[in-house]
Amino acid sequence: MLNRMNRVRATDRLRPMRCKPRQARHARGIALIEVLVALLIFMLGVLGLVGLQASMTRAQTDSKVRADAAYLASELNGRMWSDLANLASYDGTGCASQARCSEWQSKVGSSLPGGTGAVTVNATSGDVAVTISWTMPSGETHRYVTHTTVAKAAN
């Protein structure tokens, strides 16, 4: 019986094992499809990250411009506190009569994209409203308004 099992035809030894034709047809291209699906998922992830980075960059730029506007408004309030005698001359959009205010106006224009500043002063009560407007490159217009009271200290 053992001899029968060991007896193998010479042609059987030379012939490589082959898949059945039906199995070979179904298996063809599966690996390629798996690779394409993996690439598609990877590309969607990369596109999501690029979109997230663009959104974060836009938000960071908006935040910086808002912080600059707040700083400029605070700077003008400080200038008015140090120049109480000329407080009424800061009133108006141009405030060209006051050198310190016109210098501030040019600083607003150079620091912010399309930046303009307006000051409203009530000289009797010392109430001051500083309005700074700017236009982002995307066309969005923003405003920063601050109200404060600048009054002489009691002697």
Average pLDDT, the chain: 82
Q: What are the residue boundaries of the structural domains of the chain, listed by start? A: 24-149
Sequence-separated (6 or more) residues with CB below 8 Å from residue 151: 125, 126
More confident residue, 44 or 94: 44
- Note the pLDDT of residue 27: 63
Q: 101-133: per-residue pLDDT in tens? A: 888 888 999 999 999 998 988 878 889 999 999
Given this model, what pLDDT does residue 150 score? 84
**By CB neighbour count within 10 A (0-12 exposed, 13-18 middle, 19+ buried), where does 130 fall?**
buried
Specify the length of the chain in residues: 155
pLDDT for 75 equals 92
